Amino acid sequence: MRFGRNRRRLLSSLKYLAVALVASLVTLLAINLIPETRVIRTIVPHRFDAADPQFARSMSSYSQGQMFEANAVQTLVNGDEIFPAMLQAIRSARKTINMETYIYWSGSVGYEFATSLAAKAREGVEVRVLVDWLGSLPFDEKLIQIMTSAGVRFERYRPIHWYTLDRVNNRTHRKLLIVDGRVAFTGGVGIADNWLGDACNPNEWRDTHYQIEGPAVP
pLDDT 10s digits, 102-134: 999 999 999 999 999 999 999 999 999 999 999
Tell me the pLDDT band of 42, cut-offs 50, 70 and 90: confident
pTM: 0.78
- Letter string b/e over residues 37-55, b meaning 16 or more CB atoms within 10 A of that residue's CB: eeeeeeeeeeeeeeeeeee
Q: What is the pLDDT of residue 43?
A: 75
**What are the residue ranges spanned by the domains of the chain?**
1-34, 68-213
pLDDT score recorded for residue 10: 65
DSSP state of 104: B
**Residue 14 pLDDT class (50, 70, 90 cuts):** confident
Axis crossing angle, helix 141-148 with helix 108-122, rounded to the nearest 10:
20
Residue 102's SS3 state is: coil
| CATH number for the domain whose boundaries are 68-213 | 3.30.870.10
Give the confidence band of 3 by pLDDT, cuts at 50, 70, 90.
low
